[in-house]
Chains A and B, each alone.
Chain A
Amino acid sequence: MNQEPILRVEGVSKSFPGVQALKNVDFEVYRGEVVALLGENGAGKSTLMKILAGAYQKDSGHIYLNGQEIRPRNPAHSQELGISTIYQEFTLTLNQTAAANIFMGREPRYGGLLKPFKLVNRRKMERDAAELLQRVRARIDPAALVGELSVAERQQVEIAKALAIEAQVIIMDEPTSALGADETKSLFDIIRDLRERGLAIIFITHRLEEVLEISDRIIVLRDGERVGTLKTAEADAEQIIRLMVGRNIDDLFLKETVPITEPVLAVQGLTRRGVVEDVTFDLKRGEILGFAGLIGAGRTETMRLIFGADRKDHGYIWLDGHEIEIHSPEDAMLYGIGLVPEDRANQGLILENTVLFNMIMPMLKRFSRYGWVRRALARRAAGEYVNRLRVRTPGMEQTVKNLSGGNQQKVVLAKWLMVNPKVLILDEPTRGIDVGAKAEIHQLMVELAKQGIGIIMISSEMPEILAMSDRIVVMHEGRIAAILNREEATQERIMAYASGQTHLTNTKLVTEGHAA
C-alpha cells in the first residue's frame, strides 16, 4: 500500500504516576483496512485508544489525520474530527429511541419559519436513522427504545451513530466480548462492509482467532512499546503469542522455597451464573497460588464469591477440612480469610481517614471492650505492623490519601495481617506501585507464606505470576483452563490457556518457550 495512511500516530508517549504507559509509539491505519491492536493486559492498548479518542492527552508525539496534524482535546472533539470509538460499555441512553441516540447532539431540525424554535424533526430523524441502520444490516425500528434492544443490537446502534457523524476511523474496543457466536459473525459482516466503503477500523480484542479472521494487519504492543507488525495472511497464533509475551523475566522477584504442608482452603464447583463456572481448586499452607488470566476472566469474581462479597449460585468451600458457609465478608473474616481488593482507592481504603482508622477497621471487635474502642491498645498493635511492614508514614494519624501507592497498599496488607488470617487473597497486589515497594511486597508475601498462611495472588503481570507462584491457576471466560505447576509454567503456555488457544499448549510450544 503506497497510499497515505488515513490516521498516523508518530512517537506518542504517555506516562502516569509511576508508569510509562506508552513509549514513543508509532501506529498507522489505511483506508479500507482493519487493524488489530494486540497486547497483554497493561501493554498500552487502552491508553493509545484513549489518546486517539480524546479521553487522554498525549505527553509528546504527533497524530495526523489525512496528513493534517490533529490534537483531540476531548471525546467530542475527536468525534468531530472523524474518529469514533465504540467502547465496551456503550455510551447510549437507554430511555431514548435508537434514532435519538444515533443523532444525539445533532438532531435534524425543522427549517423555515420554525427554525428559531430549534424543534427536532422527528420524522426526518427516524427516516435517516433507518437508512443508517440499514447500512449496518440492522433490523431495528428507529423508534424503539434502546433499553429494549439486545446487546448486539445496541452495538449496531453505536456503529450507526459512528456512521452518522461520518467517522473516517472507527475504534472498536473488545466489541465481541459480550456477543454470541452468531452475533459475532454478523458483526464481522458489518466490519467487512465498512471496510469496503473505505473506512479504517481499529479492532482491539483478546481473542486471537477473531484477529486472524477479521484483520488485515496486526500491531502488537508490549510494555508500552510497539514490538511488531504482522500481515494477518502470513501470521499464526503461535507467532502472535510470542510477540505479546516475549520479554525477559527480570530478577526482581525473589521467591524462596517455603515448605508447603496440608491444604487449608478447598473450593469445589464454585459457580455464579454468567460470571464464574464450576471453579475447583485447593490451597495449601505456605503456598502462593497464582491466578492468571485476561481481564474479565472471572478471577476477581471468584475471590469475591469465596469472600462472601457476592452470592454464589452453587459450590462448596472447605477450610481446614471443614465445610463452611460464607454469607458475608464478616463471615469470611471470622473464618480467617482476608481479601486485599484490586481497587485500593475504591474498595480497600477510606482515603479520607487515617492510617490507624483504616488498619483497625476489620478488627474493631478485638480492640474494644463493651463497645468502647481501646485506642491505646489499637495504636500499639497497629504501630507494630506499621513498623513490620515498613509503612513510610509520618504517623498513625496521617490521612491515607497522602501516602504513596506502595505505602497505601502496605496499609491494606497490614489491616488484614492484624486479623491473623489463615488464607490471604491478594488481588493485583502490586498494580500501580513503584518497583521498590513492589519488591518489598513480594518479600512480605514470602514471609507470610513462611508463617503458614495460604496465599492466593491474582496478577495480570506475567513475570510476577511466574516468579511468585508455587502453582498457577489459569482462568478463561469464567472457567479454570488449567492448573500448572511452577516447573511446567511458561509465559507462552499461560497466554495460550488464558486466550483459549488450548491446542497450542502442546509440547512444541513448551519446548520453544524453554529455549527462548
Chain B
Amino acid sequence: MNEQTADELTRRQAFGRASRAWWRGIASGQELGVFIVLVAMILYLTWKTDTFATAQNLRNIWLSFSWIAIAAFGQTLVIITGGIDLSAGSTMALSGLAAAYLISGNIEGQPSPWMIEKTISGRLQQMGPDEYVPLALIAGPLMGLLVGTVNGLLVSRANLPAFIATLGTMSIARGICYGWSSGWPFQKLNNEFLKIGQNNVTALGVDIPIPFIVMIVLAVVMTIFLTRTVWGYRIYAVGGNEQAAQLSGINTRRVKLMAFMLSGLMAGIGGTLMTARLGVAAPTAASGYELDVIAAVFIGGTSVTGGKGTIVGTLIGAAIMQVLRSGLNLLGYDPYWQPAAIGLTIILAITFDRMRVRLQNRPASSLFGLDHLRTRLGR
C-alpha cells in the first residue's frame, strides 16, 4: 500500500491531536456533558422564574457553593488516587472552630479572656482581638492540614482502607469539636475576620464575594498543580494503576499521603471561609457536608475507581448542586425534598458515566460508540 500517504496522514492527525492536547488536560468529554447540564438548568430557571437571574440570588449561589467546592477540590485529588475522604465535613467544622477560637469574644457561653470592645458603625460590640485575625486565617487551614495528615498516615503507613480510616477521623474530629466547645458555638467573632467571608470585591460593576474569588483562584492553582506538575502526574499515575506506578519508581505511599494532606488543607480553607461567612463557629457546622463534597466530585466526572478527574469538573459539579437547590426553592418546592433531588442527581450522573465508559470500551470505531448502540437496538 501507499505507506507514505498513510504516514503523512498519521502525522497530520498527530498534529491535530497535539494542538488540542492542552484542552484535554483541563477538561475532557465528561466535563462538557456536565457543563451543558448546568447551562440548561440555568437557562430553564431563568426562563421559568423571575427571581433566579437576579444579582442577589446569583450572589447567594456563588457564596454558598464556594466552600463546598474548595473542599471538593481536595477531595478530587484523593478520589483520583483511588481513595475517599469522609472526614471533609468534620474537618471543615474543626478548622472553623480553630480559626474562631482565636478571635471569638464568647467561648463556651462565657466571655473569652481576650474579649475586646470595638465600635462598629456607631455601635459598641464585643469581639475577639484584632491582632489574632491573621493568626486565625492560618490556624483554620493548618487544622485542616493536620487532620489530612492523620488521614494520609493512616492510609499510607498503617495501610487502612481510606473509607475506614476517614470514617474514624470523621467521628474523632466531630467529637473534638463538641468536646472543645462543650457544645457551645464560638460567637462574637472579630469583625475584620468576618469581612473575609461577607465582603465583596467590585469588578466591572459586579459585586463578587471574596469566598468566590478564593475559590476561583484555588481552582486555577489546583488545576495547574494537577495537570502541570510532577506531583499531579503522580496522583493520576497512582490512581490509574497503582502497581504500574510503583514499578515505575513512584513512591505511591508518599503520593497518597500528599493527596490526603491537600484534601485536609482544602477542607480547612473551606471551613475557615464558611465560618467567616456565617459569623459563628458551631460544633455542628458542616454536618453532612462530606456527602455534598463527594457528590460534587462524582457529578463532575471523576472516576469512582480513580485515575481520572478534573478540578473544572468538580467545580461544575458543585455548581450544579447549588443551582439545583436554589432552583427547587424558587420553583416553590418544599426544601425538605432537596436531599432527594441531590441524591437522584448523583445516581444519574454516575449511571451516565458508567454508560459512557461502557460504550467507549467497545472496540472504538465511532466517537461515542453510537453505531454500537444502534446495532444493539436494531437487534
The total of chain A residues at the interface (CB under 8 A) is 39
| Most A C-beta atoms less than 10 A away, residue of B236, B240, B241, B249 | B249
B246, A329: Cβ atoms closer than 8 Å: yes
Quick one: given A350-B307, A362-B248, are A373 and B18 in contact (CB under 8 Å)?
no
Partner-contacting stretch, out of B101-109, B224-232, B340-348: B224-232
Q: How many residues of chain B have a CB within 8 Å of chain A?
A: 35
**Could you say which of A330, A346, A372, A401 contacts B229, with CB atoms under 8 Å apart?**
A372
CB B25 to nearest CB in A, in angstroms, measures: 9
Contact B249 A352 (CB under 8 A): no
Interface status of B206 (Cβ within 8 A of chain A):
no
Known pairs A330-B250, A368-B229; A348 contacts B234 (CB<8 A): no
Contact stretch, chosen from A195-203, A392-400, A444-452, A454-462: A392-400
Contact between chains at B244 and A347 (CB < 8 Å): yes
Q: Are B228 and A346 neighbours in the complex by a CB distance under 8 Å?
A: no
Contacts of A353 in B (CB 8 A): 236-237, 240, 307
CB nearest neighbor in A for B308: A352
Determine whether the beta carbon of B241 is less than 8 Å from that of A362.
no
Contact B245 A350 (CB under 8 A): yes
**CB atoms of A350 and B231 under 8 A apart:** no
Contact B14 A328 (CB under 8 A): no
Given known A-B contacts A350-B307, A402-B364, A330 and B251 have beta carbons under 8 A apart: yes
A373–B247 touching, CB < 8 Å: no
Bound-complex Cα distance A379 to B233 (A): 14
A334 to B250, CA, bound (A): 11
Question: Is B373 located at the chain interface by the 8 A CB criterion?
Answer: no
Task: Pick from A329, A379, A392: contact of B249, CB below 8 A.
Answer: A329
Contacts of A360 in B (CB 8 A): 233
Q: Which B residues touch A352, using CB under 8 A?
A: 240, 303, 307-308
Instruction: With both chains docked as a complex, state the minimum distance between the C-beta of B177 and any C-beta of chain A, in angstroms.
Output: 35
Roughly how many angstroms separate A371 CA and B361 CA in the complex, as a whole number?
Answer: 34
Q: Report the Cα distance A108→B307, complex, angstroms.
A: 47
Query: A330 to B251, alpha carbons, bound, how many Å?
Result: 7
A330 to chain B: closest residue by CB: B249
A357 touches B13 (CB 8 A): no
State whether A361 and B229 are in contact (beta carbons under 8 Å apart), knowing that A395-B17, A395-B18, A397-B18 are contacts in the complex: no
- Pairwise interchain contact B17-A346, C-beta atoms closer than 8 A: no
Contact of B14 among A350, A357, A396 (CB under 8 A): A396
- The interface centre, meaning the residue of A339, A353, A357 with most chain B CB atoms within 10 A of its CB, is A353
Nearest residue, chain A, Cβ from B228 = A373
**B24 contacts chain A at the CB level, 8 A cutoff:** yes
Interface residue? A332 (CB, 8 A): yes
Closest beta carbon of chain A to B130's beta carbon, Å: 37
Using a CB-CB cutoff of 8 Å, which residues 12-67 of chain B contact chain A? 13-18, 20-21, 24
CA distance A271 to B303 in the complex (A): 40
A362 and B249 form a contact (CB under 8 A): yes
Which one, B16, B24, B228, B247, contacts A348 given CB within 8 A? Answer: B247
Known: A346-B243, A350-B244, A395-B14. A371 touches B230 (CB 8 A): yes
Given contacts A307-B247, A329-B248, contact A394 B10 (CB under 8 A): yes
Contact residues in A for B233 (Cβ distance below 8 Å) = 357, 360-361, 364, 373
* Residues of chain A lying within 8 A (CB to CB) of residue B24: 397
Provided the pairs A332-B249, A353-B236 are in contact, do residues A348 and B13 lie with their beta carbons within 8 angstroms? Answer: no
State whether A368 and B241 are in contact (beta carbons under 8 Å apart), knowing that A329-B249, A330-B251 are contacts in the complex: no
CB within 8 Å for A328 and B244 given contacts A365-B230, A373-B233, A397-B24 = no
Which residues of A365-420 are within 8 A (CB) of B? Answer: 365, 368, 371-373, 375, 379, 392, 394-398, 401-402, 415
Q: Which residues of B contact A309 (CB under 8 A)?
A: 246-247
Which listed residue, A332, A348, A368, A372, touches B244 by the CB 8 Å rule?
Answer: A348
Q: Which A-chain residue is minimally distant from B303 (CB atoms)? A: A352
If A330-B250, A353-B307 touch, whether A396 touches B18 (CB-CB below 8 Å) is yes
Contact code string B294-337 (vs A, CB < 8 Å = 1, else 0): 00000000010001100000000000000000000000000000
Judged by a CB distance under 8 angstroms, whether A349 is at the interface is: yes
- A453: Cβ under 8 A from any B Cβ: no
- Tell me whether A346 and B241 are in contact (CB under 8 A): yes
Name the distance in Å between B148's Cβ and chain A's nearest Cβ. Answer: 20
On whether the beta carbons of A350 and B246 are closer than 8 Å, the reply is no
A402: which B residues are within 8 A, CB to CB? 364
Task: Confirm or deny: A467 has a beta carbon within 8 angstroms of a beta carbon on chain B.
Answer: no
Distance of A330 Cα from B229 Cα, bound (Å)? 19
Q: Which residues of A contact B21 (CB under 8 A)?
A: 396-397
A333 within 8 A of B: yes
Question: For the complex, is A351 an interface residue (Cβ under 8 Å from B)?
Answer: yes
**Given contacts A364-B233, A364-B234, A372-B229, A415 and B248 within 8 Å (CB-CB):** yes
Contacts of B20 in A (CB 8 A): 397
Name A414-444 residues within 8 Å CB distance of B: 415
- Residue of B243, B244, B245, B303 most packed against chain A (CB within 10 A): B244
Chain B residues with CB under 8 Å of A307's CB are: 247
Q: CB-CB < 8 A to A348: which residues of B? A: 244, 247
Of the A-B pairs whose beta carbons lie under 8 Å apart in the complex, a sample of 7, sorted by A's number, is A339-B247, A346-B244, A347-B241, A364-B234, A364-B250, A375-B228, A394-B14
The 9 closest A-B CB pairs, nearest first, are: A350-B240, A395-B14, A333-B249, A395-B17, A362-B248, A330-B249, A361-B248, A350-B241, A364-B230
Q: A350-B241, A395-B15, A398-B17 are in contact. List 14 more A-B contacts (CB 8 A).
A: A307-B247, A329-B249, A332-B249, A333-B248, A348-B247, A350-B244, A353-B307, A357-B236, A361-B244, A372-B228, A394-B14, A396-B14, A397-B17, A397-B24
Residue positions of B touching A, CB distance < 8 A = 10, 13-18, 20-21, 24, 228-234, 236-237, 240-241, 243-251, 303, 307-308, 361, 364
